[in-house]
Amino acid sequence: MDDTDASSLVDDFIEEHFGNQKSESPRLPKKLLSSLPSSPPPPQPPPSSPPETLSNAFWRNGFDLGRVLGFGAFGKVYRARKVSEMEYNFAVKVIQYKNEEVLQEARSEYACNELGSYHKNVVRVESFFEFSLAGTSKQYGVLVLELCHHEDFMDFMENLVKTHRVFDEGIVKYYFRQLLRVLKTLHAAGVFHRDLKPENLLWSRDFKKLKLSDFGLAKMVLGPTALLQGFLGTAAYAAPEVCKSGSDGSFYDPAKADIWSCGVILFVMLTLSLPFDTEEGFKAWYYTAMHPASTLAAGHNKLAADPDGWWCCMSVNRGLSSGATAFLRRMMASQAGQRSSLQELLNDDWLNIDISSEGAVAAYMMAACTSNSS
């Protein structure tokens, strides 16, 4: 499916679920919301027998749990299969409803991920269900997702560092174009991810597609103007205005914030290092971005106050080419209004030359991952 088809599907989806709504307030799609129960099934009274286990509850709902694939802030992810099938072809994200806020966040995650599932570069949602463990007060929500390759981008890059290898630039461009394209479609539909980082970028099992995952912090905003406030996400990848919003409650454009995060992701892919190496380094950068005239300790480059000097230093010290540096600067501008749009980035000359072919990418990744596991 190309970008035009994906955008058309999203337009149809929005028309079907939203109709002619004009509200600018964040809301869940009518059809998705109506398909969810008003609340999870009530807990069962304590029986004389032992409380139900999570595995038994899944079996009751038609799934068999396999091994744990990962942990997140909001729950665990397991490999799973339908009880009627032999293969473990799904990943299930299990979220315990510790309070009403977590319940609403889980449903919002489902709505955002379901809307994005129309795009080939989003981890597809197969279903969503809720249950209570018999004999306990515990309640859960479950996202059933397509199963992707077991490594994420960060796992892969950490292995490259350990084995003193680099992420081939042609391969990087191949995947980064896919990331920009899927974000363009999501933003057009009013969905903003807000936690873009290598850990949330997966591969299809044949390595031909980047798969955007974890919509736990995503926000759906209807209306022509999308402005959000408050700090959410991962500090090392968060735009300076998002950090500022966390301290003073100011509003920011989530589309521009996602673009900043893309810049940091690309920087990491090209250099296998963060532009702000430690939490202390990030705090120093944030302070500089908000107070460009401030004096910092030796060694801290001032991206906001002296962008030319900062990028010159990065180009030399991290081995960035002039084309890559110029492209990164279009995303990692300290002022949100100076960042390029996703379409402008997709049209950039650097991103459109010397891109590896699909077959070359798949062969490279299979060989690299085989080397990583040996």
How does DSSP assign 261-323, residue by residue?
HHHHHHHHHHHSS-SS-SHHHHHHHHHHHH-TT----TT---TTT-HHHHHHHHHHHHT--HH
Q: Which residues are CB-contacts of 8 (< 8 A; sequence separation ≥ 6)?
A: none
Contacts of 294 (CB under 8 A, 6+ apart): 287, 288
Q: What integer pLDDT is reported at residue 228 of this predicted model?
A: 92
Choose among 185, 214, 187: nearest CA to 200.
214
Q: What is the pLDDT of residue 226?
A: 79
Contact 63, 52 (CB under 8 A): no
5 in catalytic set: no
Do 261 and 197 touch, CB atoms closer than 8 A? yes
Closest CA to 243 of 220, 199, 234, 340: 234
State the 10-residue block means of pLDDT for the chain, 374 residues long. 55 54 47 58 65 94 94 86 95 96 95 95 96 94 96 93 92 97 96 96 96 95 82 87 84 95 96 74 54 42 73 86 95 93 98 93 88 64
CA-CA distance, 96 to 73, in Å (whole number)? 11
User: In this structure, what token pair is assigned to residue 347?
Assistant: 């049209």
- Residue 295 has a pLDDT of 42
The structure tokens 């749990």 sit at 65
Q: Please tell me the pTM assigned to this model.
A: 0.82
Q: Report the candidate in 143, 128, 42 with the shortest Cα–Cα distance to residue 94.
A: 143
Distance CA 370, CA 372 (A): 5
Write down the catalytic residue from 195, 214, 253, 258.
195
